[in-house]
Chain A
Amino acid sequence: MNNASSQIQSASSLTGKEGGGSARSLIVSALDHGTVIDHIPCDRLFEVIELLHLQDMKSKVTIGFNLKSQKMGTKSIIKIADRFFNDEELNQLSVVAPDVTLVIIRDYEVVEKRPVSLPDELRGIVRCDNPKCITNNEPMRTYFHVIDKPNGLIRCHYCNHEQKLRK
């Protein structure tokens, strides 16, 4: 995280610099082109940063941590300029932090706003809990079938072991 600190501004310094207003509207409106990931549970923020490799990003990244949220009490938000994520990256995101909101912005316009949900299949994202599963003993990608989306229940394609994604 050391090299990340130079590229990431905290939300409070950002509000200070730009002079008041709610942190949320400021962060979102300040983006002209890029992706906003909203409603991130605060205890998942740093996992999301790591998952999307934001520390290696050259474009402008703004991160808000412990912001007030009517929906969830506190939340975190990430704003990434000039970067759009592919489905595989978003699927990964849905595993680490389900129920985040994805906002896509082009030319200051919100062109898409939707929840990120679990896909039907997860490839290479989650480890199988079963130590005797072939995927934990062979250089290969894991593969899970999502069998219960609301409860985050998944089944290993190889050993049939069922496990829960963290809620």
Chain B
Amino acid sequence: MNRSLVTIADHTREKIEYLIRMAQEFEHHPNRLLLQGRVVATLFFEPSTRTRLSFETAANRLGARVIGFADPKVTSGTKGETLKDTIMMVSNYADIIVMRHYLEGAARYASEIAPVPIINAGDGANQHPSQTMLDLYTIYQTQGTLDNLNIYLVGDLKYGRTVHSLLMAMRHFNPTFHFIAPDELAMPELYKQYCRQYNIRYVEHQDFDADVIAGADILYMTRVQRERFTDLMEYERVKDRYLLKLEMLAKARPNMRILHPLPRVNEIEYAIDDDPHAYYFQQARNGLFARQALICDALGITLEQVKVDKTII
């Protein structure tokens, strides 16, 4: 059985809940020797320091050894080696491969040819399942449930891979989505169609103010990137409209939490960092537990085994 993780879109509700329970175990006890004697390879054909550090920390805290590369310039890919050859070679050394690639579909292909499980740490604009898993875990952690939540997505909803994956993964949990974005970066029709197909309610907003935010359980902010705009005048016009300021939280629900996949540039005012609604740094920390769960699951380690694990440090 191929235990690779390429996308989370195919996961059932049960599988998502199972992984959340496993991540909870790791949150209680992140330091273990559960993976002692195993080798985890992290192949980053595209640099991503944040994701790589999170995966490598997850492996290290479970006692695994980590090999790999962080910079594609040092690999044979620059000498013309195919992805297949690199994957086959590394499969001889490692028990599992975590890979990030700039080409879409690279992880799917690697999972079809590799004799060891592959974890997709992002393939171009396509999928980034470990981010989705940590988002789901954070939502569950802050709300106590994934069911019937009002999730507000703000910023770049057109190119934002994380919001698309989150939207798809939430389909099992009867959410109501609110889309807040400039016209140029509006949620693509494809995903609105997806919502209709799975009976996911969604509301589109032009305004972004205290009254709109008042209905949110989760306020998921993303970065509005200048390079996404063909019309720079348009960018200048909208860039400040999707800034979250402290006073906009005046009517927010007590349970509301602000998430952001990071890096943040200026879309959340720094004064908000100390507000109890701010949760993006804890969210990033959850990436560690979510990735520990994903690595163990891909290696065939079950929730039961994690629960009775005697290697806790």
A interface list, Cβ under 8 A from B: 130, 132-135, 137-140, 156-162
Contact = CB atoms under 8 A, between A and B. Distances in A.
Contact of A133 (B83, B84, B103, B190): B103
B84 A159 contact: no
Interface stretch (B104-112, B222-230, B265-273, B291-299): B104-112
A130 B104 CA distance: 9
B109 A160 contact: no
Given A134-B103, A135-B105, 20 more contacts: A130-B104, A132-B103, A132-B124, A133-B105, A134-B109, A134-B123, A135-B109, A138-B82, A138-B83, A138-B84, A138-B103, A139-B84, A140-B84, A158-B106, A159-B104, A159-B105, A159-B123, A160-B104, A161-B104, A162-B190
Given A158-B109, A159-B105, A160-B104, A132 B84 contact: no
8 contacts: A139-B84, A140-B109, A156-B105, A157-B105, A158-B104, A158-B105, A158-B106, A159-B124
Nearest to B124: A132
B125 A158 contact: no
Nearest to B113: A140
A159 B103 CA distance: 8
B108 A157 contact: yes
Contacts of A162: 190
Contacts of B103: 132-134, 137-138, 159
A139 B104 CA distance: 15
A158 B82 contact: no
Interface in B92-131: 101-106, 108-109, 123-127
A158 B7 CA distance: 11
Q: Is the interface of A mostly helix, strand, loop or mixed?
A: loop
A149 to B, nearest CB: 18
Nearest to A162: B190
Contacts of A158: 104-106, 108-109
B82 A139 contact: yes
Nearest to A156: B105
Instruction: State which size class the interface on B falls in.
Output: 10 to 19
Contact of B102 (A132, A138, A160, A161): A132
B126 A159 contact: yes
A134 B83 contact: yes
Contacts of B109: 134-135, 138, 140, 158
Contacts of A134: 83, 101, 103-106, 108-109, 123
Contacts of B124: 132, 159
A160 B129 CA distance: 14
A139 B124 CA distance: 19
Interface string B125-149: 1110000000000000000000000
Contact of B125 (A132, A139, A140, A157): A132
B265 to A, nearest CB: 24
Contacts of A132: 102-104, 124-125
Contacts of B104: 130, 132-134, 158-161
A98 B125 CA distance: 32
A134 B99 CA distance: 14
Contacts of A135: 105, 109
A151 B241 CA distance: 40
A128 B58 CA distance: 36
A124 B104 CA distance: 18
A62 B84 CA distance: 44
B166 to A, nearest CB: 16
- 9 tightest A-B contacts by CB? A158-B105, A159-B104, A159-B105, A134-B105, A134-B103, A134-B106, A158-B108, A134-B109, A132-B104
Nearest to A157: B108
Q: Which of A138, A156, A161, A162 has the most CB of B within 10 A?
A: A138
Most buried by A among B82, B83, B104, B106: B104
- Residue picked from A132, A134, A140, most chain B C-beta under 10 Å: A134
Interface string B81-92: 011100000000
B160 to A, nearest CB: 16
Contacts of B190: 162
Contacts of B84: 138-140
Contacts of A138: 82-84, 103, 109
Contacts of A133: 103-105
Contacts of B102: 132
A132 B101 CA distance: 11
